[in-house]
Structure 1
Amino acid sequence: MKKLLQKAIPKMYGFYFNILHLFSKEKSADLALRVFSVPRKGNILPHQKSFLSTARTQKIAFEDGLFMLYHWKGNGPTVLLNHGWESNSFRWKYLIEPLQELDYNIISIDAPAHGGSDGTLFTAVKYSRIIKDTIELYQPKIVIAHSVGAMATIFQESQKPHPFIEKFVFLGSPNRLEVIMRGYQELTSFNNSVYESLNKSLKAKFGYHIEEFNAANFAKKIKVPALIVHNPDDLIVPFQAMEEIAAAMPFATTYTSQTGGHSLYTQEVIDRVIEFLKEA
């Protein structure tokens, strides 16, 4: 019964978007974007609190609330960690501990509407503005980002590059927003008229049509060494995304992980990331 409801509820949303579109294209598009932008999970769970409490925490103001920042102090270079969709800073535990052993100064943030940050809505563009604020506050030499966090980071650095950043690591990054939005359309079964209205709405709100928002387009402006990691068995983001982004990024190195799926939590990935950070 539970599985049946999980499949039926998205279709009910799509049916409602289609009906509403007959009366108001704008309201239908706005509602479709709102539903798409609300994470279903990513709150801090009880078992995550203990580890996160080992960091110094700070809440920083942004446009519609406060976002949570965690700081594990070290004497080495500063590393900024940006998680992905429906996650929070706990997802970096597997990498934070090896970085601490090497005495890196570690900063991690919770995205809008995730973890300890305020808000109910998330977009990659909104996240990119929080990433920008954090970069300018802590001036990291290294930025490591996962999934949509990687897409948001690449977008941000295309808008305002920070010359003090020396290396990037992008894990399981999506490339084309169109792939994500077509997946959303398939899940909910809203029609192409709603899709086109949603496309126009995104252009008006963020300055890009869906088909224009591609990480590979933005990656051209990242001109420092970057490691891009992906797994061929990633069920969330197509493996092709790594190849497309890397082809556009002037100093990119790719690594095909044989483990980790989309999350890329494994020792194999940790070892490659640490190796990359140690490279001259």
Structure 2
Amino acid sequence: MQKLVSAGLQTIGLLSPRLGGRIAFNLWRRPLARGRVRADEQLVHAAAKVEVLDEAGAEVRTYAWGDGERPVLLVHGWRSRASRYAGFVTRLLELGYSPISYDAPAHGDSAGEVTSILGHQRIIRALEERHGPFEGVIAHSLGVPFALYAVREGVAAKRMVMISGVADFGYLADAFCAELGLGPKLNRELRRSIERGYFDGDHDIWTRFSVTTGKAELLVIHNDEDDIVDPAQAQLLLRNYGPHAHFLPTTGLGHRRILSDPAVITEAVAFLQDSDVPEGLDLSA
């Protein structure tokens, strides 16, 4: 199927790059499949207090565990859902934190269409007003730029853990085009369609929503075998965020399994607890 889509888009792009860009945009913004609650997530998922937020007329499912003290926000990625954080929720509860999360629009049990980074900012701000300020924020994959932007724009968080994340906003278009073998012209038209479709034609979004210097202590976790988000994004995140960013390399976990790895969960939550920045973190052995 991917080969057929790739060949079709390339052919259309030769005839009309703009039409090819619009079609690519319609594919780019659709998850195509919703993540379901897995068997090993059922107990944690069922234990959450479920509420609903309104985002652009769509009902967004939110989840809260614990007694409300020391809230920690969990932000999932593309084609994922809040229940993927089951291992984190269990560990955070054991240590007296109150995990907070949500299924993004068009993901998990939430309704609506895929929303932009600005929509996620509004959701995260609403969760802060309801549950915050946050002791910490943990995000995975595409949730990383969403979480970092929300904090940059004023959401409070003492510490943050960013796992397998995207640092360069343009990477979202570049990786999509690379996967389908689309050339520079279709990449350019896809970017223009994204600008028009979500951001009123703003050409500066690629800089505006990329990672910039931050003040909160930040732990970056990435895997050397990540086949979804290039590990080079971790190095870019570290450079752009500045001296408050720290790195935890891992190996052999890929993009998705890293989120349920017990050692990663332990180190990530320990980072939220520490008053001093841990040195020499390394799970690569």
Same fold (TM over 0.5): yes
Runs of at least 5 residues in structure 2 that lack an aligned partner in the other structure: 276-285
**Which one of 139, 155, 158 corresponds to residue 145 of structure 1?**
139
Is the 2:13–2:21 contact (alpha carbons within 8 Å) kept by the matching residues of 1?
no
Instruction: Give secondary structure in 1 for the equivalent of 2:157.
Output: coil
Deviation, 1:13, is 4.9
CA distance 1:78–1:13, change in 2 (3 Å):
farther
Report the counterpart of residue 62 of structure 2 in structure 1: 69
> How well do the aligned residues superpose, as a CA RMSD in angstroms?
2.5
Provide the rounded CA distance (Å) in 2 between the counterparts of 1:274 and 1:183: 30
1:203–1:20 Cα change, 3 Å = same
Q: Is the 8 A contact 1:80 1:107 kept in 2?
A: yes
**SS at 1:30 equivalent:** helix
SS at match of 2:161: strand
1:110-131: CA deviation from partner (whole Å, max 9, x where unpaired): 1111001112334444333322
Contact 2:9 2:20 in 1 (8 A): no
**Match for residue 277 of structure 1 among 268, 272, 275:** 272
Q: Check conservation: 2:48, 2:64, Cα contact below 8 A.
A: yes
**1:41 is matched with which residue: 16, 24, 33?**
33
Could you tell me which runs of 5 or more consecutive residues in structure 1 were left unpaired when the two chains were aligned: 1-5
SS in structure 2 at match of 1:269:
helix
Which residue pairs with 1:91 in the alignment? 84
Change (3 A) 1:274 1:193: closer
Deviation at 1:261, TM superposition (A): 2.0
What is the Cα deviation at residue 51 of structure 1? 3.4
Which amino acid is 1:113 matched to? Answer: A
Q: Quote the residue 2:261 is aligned against.
A: 266
Asked if structure 1 preserves the Cα contact closer than 8 Å seen for 2:68 and 2:131, the reply is no
Among all aligned residue pairs of Structure 1 and Structure 2, give the percentage whose two residues are the same amino acid.
Answer: 21
Counterparts in 2 of 1:132 and 1:239: CA distance versus 1, 3 Å: same
Find the counterpart in structure 2 of residue 154 from structure 1.
148
Alignment partners' CA distance in 2, 1:40 and 1:121:
11
SS at match of 2:221: strand
Structure 2 distance, partners of 1:153, 1:70, is 17
Q: Deviations over 1:13-58 (max 9, x none)?
A: 5147527736xx3x54333212111102233346355531111100
Does the Cα contact within 8 Å between 2:151 and 2:157 map onto a contact in 1?
no
1:3: which partner in 2?
none
After superposition, where does 1:107-186 map in structure 2 within 5 Å?
A: 107-139=100-132, 140-158=134-152, 160-162=153-155, 164-186=156-178
CA-CA distance at 1:196 after TM superposition: 2.0
Deviates more, 1:235-244 or 1:129-138: 129-138
Assess, with a 3 A threshold, how the Cα gap between structure 1 residues 142 and 13 changes in structure 2: closer, same or farther.
farther
Of residues 75, 89, 97, the one that matches 1:104 is 97
Which amino acid in structure 2 is aligned with residue 150 of structure 1? V
* Residue type of the alignment partner of 1:266: D
In the alignment, structure 1 residue 241 sits paired with structure 2 residue 233? yes
Letter in 2 for 1:226: L
Structure 1 CA distance, aligned partners of 2:119 and 2:224? Answer: 29
C-alpha deviation, 1:190, in angstroms: 4.0
The 1-side partners of 2:123 and 2:22 are apart by 23
1:130-164 Cα shifts (integer Å, max 9, x gaps): 22322233222211111100111112223x123x4
Residues 188/213 of structure 1: CA separation in 2 closer, same or farther (3 Å cut): farther
> How far apart are residue 253 of structure 1 and its match?
1.4
Give the letter aligned to residue 81 of structure 1.
Answer: L
Aligned counterpart, 1:79: 72
Offset of residue 271 of structure 1: 1.6
Task: Report the alpha carbon displacement of residue 177 of structure 1 after superposing the two structures with TM.
Answer: 3.3
8 Å Cα contact 2:34/2:108 also seen in 1: yes
Residue type of the partner of 1:61?
A: D
